[in-house]
Chains A and B, each alone.
Chain A
């Protein structure tokens, strides 16, 4: 064991993970081939709402290679209901959620029957031979129509409203009464924004393999949450948790989309149990679009009260959130994650948030990168621009006037959170410098004066977010069904190598590299000597997995604590070995020494001594391993300033991002290369919401964007180069000082882009354009008559939801 020369934390280490990924040696779930393995194919409902009156599987059953065809009736006695772990209110309405529809389908894409065959091709062939008779029911698609309860998604519930969740600053004692602030306000701005429905669109389609041999159920799944999945599969099926092993091998992206207990995971398990043979299911892309959960889909009515000098006083948020047809794992809680973030970095006196969760005949929604916080950030950053326009105050100045000053931290907000650290002035100054803000404004003025056909817009997003999910006591108070802690173990091996076991479950984030850096620093062992094990409940027996930008802030902290436990024990043993008082033992660069002497014991020698256990202090257990579990006291609060310049071609409606600057404060950075990568990818997804992506339905509820030809995940040619930088105020809520970075780019970028486009065309009479701001929508908005609310005609495309934007 040799000492590491320079600190690992802060170093742009190239990733350990890459070796297998760039050579095709990766372990994707779909790569698995087990002896005697069967293949499952899923017949999906082509209609959004119907009673199943008959299913004839006789032809399918006799097709070549088909082992069995199963319907919901066949599995009704054992399939239970898919879990929802977040009943946000005591009286929340939640329908039974069968993995395989029994007598009714509630969205187009819902699983109706299964073919189990000897090959995936044979299974797919037999799907076409299944005859299902549907009796159509009225289709409920529009949120506001659904709210009228004329037609019901689940008649047994008696309403399409699942729950209403309220936070009120006056009731919570965190601020004044919002209605009073609105009544007393010099300016009141009211806007409605639509958060279109998005599809996470991870690149690796979901895949599940279940092997029931050897008296165990081993479940391989392309999941973000092996530990939660194991717990939930046990809870739903009654299979002992100790007889279930879940493995998330290499997982090709998730973005919240694989934070789920899916129908297909449960179905593969039930089929493997029934058949006594291994079963695999791998979805096609279209299946993924039709059945994996979607994200966003909210209508946001925002009322902002302010004084004429630009000081904001009150904020009222009224949300309608589309649940889709069922409540999946955390579906109802996603909008609630935004509840504490609408006030953002600004000092409102009063705040009220009311969210009504609504059922429709669409794919269930659930977590998608940012989950609730992008929606909140979008709304508040749009509103700050609207206020700036209303009062004719420079948009950055109006933000500065209202944000929390750096000397005011820690700061308890009107939503009741305590922001531990931040410096909005510093991030903003750096962003404006990199962007060339003043020059850009001059160029904009020039083009306006010239009447150029290509106008320039500048968009601002001074965001914050809450991440590092989450303090368990807060989750409990929010009625979430699990904790938010994370765990780590360190095993010091007798040869001096180190095994790290983490409860986080990376799927592209690079934990193997970053966790190695942390341990290398802490223990003074070489980076290369550390192996990180994850994603297998047999080796990593507990954990809360990866989502909500939590892995480093929570899981990394558990790792630091485990390392400190190793060191504490090693220090005791080293003192014993060096025959000195423990208080005189110093540790540096992987070696213990006695203060003021040349006596030294390398950590490796101490580990070996612990392992052979020939001479240990009285009462010391052999070995040198440690476990630690960390439950954070607080969330962490990354923030930053993003500036976006767009060119809008007023003749075609085409939008081009010509400059994008992101300055983020994500606390202490362990690996800048990986952090930059997270920001880049986050920006791409946030920009995609602003400009490209939307899940669309026809009037019958058929998803009309069910392929990558229709759902516009941006390519390299659609995105600009980004200019990124960082400012740093370490988080005080964990010893690493890390705040989390996974979602920041996505949360920040959508409003920066939208504000920019509107800034380019507002002087032409456009007041709002719905997302995604396609050339068609931008062009249409530009044709509108400015005096009659151009934004209202801007919606269009293939959206199933009626236009709601542009109201003012």
Chain B
């Protein structure tokens, strides 16, 4: 089948098998290996990307379902060499160790922060329930997400706002969690 997908700002036109998973399309065809596969059942969330601004598990979607949509991966977050505030917060709070869950965790955290601009501990933990991490015990991840919320607050500083806007405010508040 023919598909046209915008991934991280670039439009790709490809022939794909109907059964090709979105995550395999990203990794194998487009070389977007920042997005990884951690399980086969949608439990771990390592493959989380955004589809039109909403987080989805790309191992639970077919590439053809992304036809005509915008996909954002971990590789499309930084702008002009500047990290997204959530990426910065993960680094500053030591919210990763092996880093395998990190791309999905960051994508999910951005989605969470679009719904909850100032989440408490419980809200962050519930919001990340679909993303497993085996290294950190989640403590610093929770801290990082709350720190990112502060970095992304209106008035938190022009630098932060500059590159948080596009990915967070473009998200439509329909469906989702």
Q: Produce 1/0 per residue, A44-60, CB < 8 A to B.
A: 00000000000000000
Q: How far is the CB of A589 from chain B (nearest CB, A)?
A: 28
Query: Are A715 and B132 neighbours in the complex by a CB distance under 8 Å?
Result: yes
B121 contacts chain A at the CB level, 8 A cutoff: yes
B97 contacts chain A at the CB level, 8 A cutoff: yes
Contact partner of B137 among A14, A673, A722, CB < 8 A?
A722
Query: Are A203 and B101 neighbours in the complex by a CB distance under 8 Å?
Result: yes
CB contact under 8 A between A22 and B134, given known A28-B33, A715-B128: no
Q: Produce 1/0 per residue, A213-254, CB < 8 A to B.
A: 000000000000000000000000000000000000011110
B91 contacts chain A at the CB level, 8 A cutoff: yes
Q: How far is the CA of A14 from the CA of B20 in the complex (A)?
A: 39
Query: Are B138 and A508 neighbours in the complex by a CB distance under 8 Å?
Result: no
Instruction: Give the number of residues in A that approach B within 8 Å (Cβ atoms).
Output: 56
CB contact under 8 A between A707 and B43, given known A22-B106, A717-B126: yes
Instruction: Give the number of residues in B that approach A within 8 Å (Cβ atoms).
Output: 59
Query: Are B134 and A201 neighbours in the complex by a CB distance under 8 Å?
Result: yes
B113 contacts chain A at the CB level, 8 A cutoff: no
Contact partner of B98 among A30, A252, A284, A680, CB < 8 A?
A252
Residue of A nearest to B77 (CB): A23
CB contact under 8 A between A285 and B39, given known A677-B140, A681-B137: yes
Query: Are B39 and A707 neighbours in the complex by a CB distance under 8 Å?
Result: yes
Q: Which chain B residues lie closer than 8 Å to A719 at the CB level?
A: 125, 137-138
Q: How far is the CA of A722 from the CA of B137 in the complex (A)?
A: 9
B116 contacts chain A at the CB level, 8 A cutoff: no
Query: Are B74 and A23 neighbours in the complex by a CB distance under 8 Å?
Result: yes
Please provide the chain B residues from 99 to 145 with a CB less than 8 Å away from any CB of chain A in the complex. 99-103, 106, 121, 124-126, 128-142
CB contact under 8 A between A253 and B138, given known A21-B96, A31-B33, A715-B128: no
Q: How far is the CB of A346 from chain B (nearest CB, A)?
A: 28
CB contact under 8 A between A24 and B34, given known A284-B40, A509-B97, A709-B43: yes
Q: Which chain A residues lie closer than 8 Å to B35 at the CB level?
A: 24
Q: How far is the CB of B119 from chain A (nearest CB, A)?
A: 12
Main SS at interface, chain B: loop
Residue of A nearest to B138 (CB): A716
In the complex, the number of residue pairs spanning A and B with C-beta atoms less than 8 Å apart equals 177
Q: Which chain B residues lie closer than 8 Å to A20 at the CB level?
A: 99
Q: How far is the CA of A707 from the CA of B24 in the complex (A)?
A: 20
Contact partner of B96 among A18, A676, A708, CB < 8 A?
A18
Query: Are B73 and A681 neighbours in the complex by a CB distance under 8 Å?
Result: no
Q: Which chain B residues lie closer than 8 Å to A684 at the CB level?
A: 134, 136-138
A204 contacts chain B at the CB level, 8 A cutoff: yes
Residue of A nearest to B21 (CB): A121
Contact partner of A22 among B28, B36, B90, B129, CB < 8 A?
B90
Query: Are B98 and A674 neighbours in the complex by a CB distance under 8 Å?
Result: no
Q: Produce 1/0 per residue, A533-550, CB < 8 A to B.
A: 000000000000000000
Q: Which chain B residues lie closer than 8 Å to A19 at the CB level?
A: 91
Q: Which chain B residues lie closer than 8 Å to A121 at the CB level?
A: 17, 19-20, 24
Q: Produce 1/0 per residue, A704-727, CB < 8 A to B.
A: 000111000101110101100000
Q: How far is the CA of A718 from the CA of B139 in the complex (A)?
A: 12
Q: Which chain B residues lie closer than 8 Å to A286 at the CB level?
A: 40
B83 contacts chain A at the CB level, 8 A cutoff: yes
Q: How far is the CB of A691 from chain B (nearest CB, A)?
A: 13
Question: Taking each of B17, B40, B99, B138, which has the highest tally of chain A beta carbons within 10 Å of its own beta carbon?
Answer: B99
A15 contacts chain B at the CB level, 8 A cutoff: yes
4 closest A-B pairs by CB: A24-B34, A21-B99, A508-B98, A252-B100
**Told that A14-B92, A203-B100 touch, could you supply 19 new A-B pairs with CB distance under 8 A?**
A17-B99, A20-B99, A22-B74, A26-B99, A30-B27, A33-B28, A203-B101, A250-B99, A285-B38, A285-B39, A286-B40, A677-B97, A677-B140, A681-B134, A683-B137, A707-B39, A708-B44, A709-B41, A719-B138
Q: List 20 A-B contacts (CB under 8 A).
A: A22-B87, A23-B34, A23-B74, A23-B75, A23-B78, A23-B83, A24-B33, A33-B28, A33-B31, A121-B19, A253-B97, A284-B40, A285-B40, A508-B97, A678-B97, A707-B40, A708-B39, A708-B43, A716-B142, A717-B129
